[in-house]
Amino acid sequence: MKQKVKGEETLLKIENFIEKQEPIKANDKTYEKIIFIYSVAIKELLTKLEILKDEFKIFYDYDIIDHIQTRIKKPESIIKKMQDKGYELTYQMMIENINDIAGIRVICPLKKDIFSVRNLVEKLPGIRLLKEKDYVTNPKKSGYSSYHLIVEVPVTLSQRIIYVKVEIQIRTMAMDFWASLEHKMKYKAKGTITKKTSKELIEYAKIITKLDNKMMLLNKEV
Ligand code: 0O2
């Protein structure tokens, strides 16, 4: 199991910083401090991923990553997710259970690049891989396809190093096109899209999978 050396802590363990049962209040000082630490974790990881992207371009003349997006989950989305999962609305429960407060999305040209990026992330010094879900090999019922990693990133502050969870979603440009539109549609329809629309979306996800496979073969031929 993961061993922490002296001077390292997880975000949860910080005494006098987050009181165990303190309720979440978006925009209070505790919230601001926690989100600051998540945003530093994103910066640290983004830099490492951008270096990988540029290294492949310059050394191997290969675009392994097309682009990278980052986001911090909005307080209302955090609270909704916690309510949906039945968690008590405390900072402790938030940090312990919501793994995608800090999110990085890596968009790759080809499907095979997803697995290469996953392997490169696993080898990044200092980064600890906690959990992974391969929705590329096994897409979700909705048709959703992406590779998810939950990693811990060391955030170096003046007095200590804190390990912070970040979710990395790795997908192709085609998968990203589908997922972004599907997410918007579902959000706009407030989760009440018709069976017909759902079926169509699943059908289009299958087309995207075929397209990704064909593009990979074509690229190999070229
Ligand atoms: P948003 O707005 O993107 O933040 P975990 O607790 O980590 O084990 P979790 O987070 O409950 O698991 O579920 P999972 O399957 O890992 O998915 C988390 C995120 O994947 C979602 O975050 C979406 O970003 C994306 N996702 C999962 N399923 C779908 C889907 O069917 N369609 C689309 N478009 N995206 C999906 P949020 O919090 O739902 O949303």
Answer yes or no: is pLDDT of 19 > 70: no
% of the chain residues with pLDDT over 90: 76
The full set of domains in the chain, from first to last, is 8-174 (3.30.460.10)
| Minimal-distance CA residue to ligand 1 atom 27 | 144
179 CA: nearest ligand 1 atom:
34
Residue 212 C-alpha to ligand 1 middle, in angstroms? 21
Instruction: Give per-residue pLDDT as tens, 119-149.
Output: 999 999 999 999 999 999 999 999 999 999 9
Q: What pLDDT, on the 0 to 100 scale, is given for residue 1?
A: 44
133 CA: nearest ligand 1 atom:
16
81 CA: nearest ligand 1 atom:
38
Contact 207, 145 (CB under 8 A): no
CA distance 168 to 160: 24
Instruction: Give per-residue pLDDT as tens, 153-199.
Output: 999 988 888 999 999 999 999 999 999 999 998 877 776 788 899 99
Which residues contact ligand 1 via a Cβ below 6 A? 73, 77, 81, 99-100, 133, 140, 142, 144, 148, 150, 179, 182-183
| Phi, psi (rounded to 5 degrees) for 22 | -60, 125
